[in-house]
Structure 1
């Protein structure tokens, strides 16, 4: 089970990352571009999930930027117990994550992928090279 403290530690370990508060919640950015954020559910989110028969999260929810809608759909299809979305995010390349259901290693990969997607390309390329990873991760 991952926590917001794990998110904070993982995000802030990445180059050019800072933490801000947006709408009263923690938000992590690379070069002022958001890539992961705390995302408490709104009443409209809860109503939409209940109407769709999707169980409400029991703990903290994280919003995570993904490369594209295909990645979002694949994550949700592969593990709907962890990944989900709400109508608020329709057409937007981001997925919601039940932190109480994701392991820290999987969270690390998710946070790093989000960071690579949003970081300046030269910064991402240099970091990937340092990690011994290619541009595709």
Structure 2
């Protein structure tokens, strides 16, 4: 996946836009932090279900998933764009997006 493909994927979610978080370019959904691309290691910041889930991902696919000290203590994994499965990434981002946007938006988008 390229940064341009990530940009397209993220902005396909309704009410998602580019912005900044702590001075870094990021993506926001409904005005809240959604994800960002880390240019220092070409990884995308992805919220997961738990720290245990993150650790399992890192153990199963260390060439794709990693974490830095900054993200320890949070249910966040860093996924390298070059090797991340786009289907997995879209699903993980959708879970995060559903937690951020108002119910009316998620219901209209998913048809639920």
TM-score by length of 2: 0.80
Corresponding residue SS for 2:82: helix
CA contact (8 A) 1:7 1:111 kept: no
Provide the C-alpha distance between the structure 2 equivalents of 1:72 and 1:113, rounded to a whole number of angstroms: 15
Runs of 5+ consecutive residues of structure 1 not aligned to the other structure:
42-56, 131-137
- Name the CA shift for 1:22/1:70 in 2 (closer, same or farther; >3 Å): same
- 2:34 is aligned to 35
Take 2:17 and 2:87, find their aligned partners in 1: how far apart are those partners? 21
- Which has the larger share of strand? 2
- Report how many aligned residue pairs link the two structures: 112
Q: Evaluate the alpha carbon distance shift between residue 26 and residue 68 of structure 1 in structure 2; reply closer, same or farther with a 3 A threshold.
A: same
> What is the TM-score with the length of structure 1 in the denominator?
0.68
- Candidates 107, 119, 128, aligned match of 2:101: 119
The higher radius of gyration belongs to 1
